[in-house]
Amino acid sequence: MHGSPNGSPATPVTDIDGARFRSVLGRFATGVVAITAIEPETGRPTGLAANSFTSVSLEPPLVAFCVAHTSTSWPRLRPAERLCINILSEPQLEVCKRLAIKGGDKFADIEWSGSPNGSPVIEGALAWIECTVEQEHVAGDHVIVVARVHALDKHHEGDPLLFYKGGYGRFDG
């Protein structure tokens, strides 16, 4: 074990407690996206909220996000021809919470319209990014999904929904 700069022993690299992991990683502020698609089986929109979204590459245009193996929405989203990443705005907290609940018709109270390719773009989102799954990498209890961007646009103007220390906040820029 190596010492830390203040002389106390550093945290061992094994045996990381889940609560500690979450509280330390929660100090990394993120935005929140809604990953949506038209479910091929029902023809209805579905989705999930995620803060693990990131831009990856411009040439080719790639983005990525991580999905838990326990997600019941991902197996319904995955077979869709296109996925749509909706960047959520601060007034969309209820949309975020709705899409984070397991089960039921997640879109029952959510207003949306079709992108030019028919993907679900949620009313009030700051932007949408339409993509297809390019690679999937199993990483522990999640899968890292790398997706190729085919179309994207700004949508509404406004402030982003931020996720920090397990709670929601706003950007005071």
Task: Give the residue, chosen from 38, 45, 51, 83, that forms a contact with ligand FMN under the rule CB under 6 A.
Answer: 51
What is the token pair recorded at 27?
Answer: 């100090």
Report the residue number, 20 or 97, with the smaller CB distance to ligand FMN: 97
What is the token pair recorded at 93?
Answer: 């907290």
Task: Give the residue, chosen from 22, 102, 165, 170, that forms a contact with ligand FMN under the rule CB under 6 A.
Answer: 102
Task: Give the residue, chosen from 56, 62, 68, 146, that forms a contact with ligand FMN under the rule CB under 6 A.
Answer: 68
Q: Which of 70, 79, 74, 53 is nearest to 152 (CA)?
A: 53
Rule CB under 6 A: say whether 48 interacts with ligand FMN.
yes
Rule CB under 6 A: say whether 92 interacts with ligand FMN.
no
DSSP, residue by residue, 113-144: EE-TT--EEETT-SEEEEEEEEEEEEETTEEE
Rule CB under 6 A: say whether 42 interacts with ligand FMN.
no
49 contacts 96 by C-beta, under 8 angstroms: yes
Kindly state the smallest distance separating residue 31's Cβ from ligand FMN, in Å: 9
Distance CA(136)–CA(138), nearest Å, equals 7
Distance CA(111)–CA(120), nearest Å, equals 9
Task: Give the residue, chosen from 37, 38, 50, 131, that forms a contact with ligand FMN under the rule CB under 6 A.
Answer: 50
Kindly state the smallest distance separating residue 26's Cβ from ligand FMN, in Å: 11
| Site residues for ligand FMN per CB under 6 A | 32, 48-52, 65-68, 71-74, 96, 99-100, 102, 163
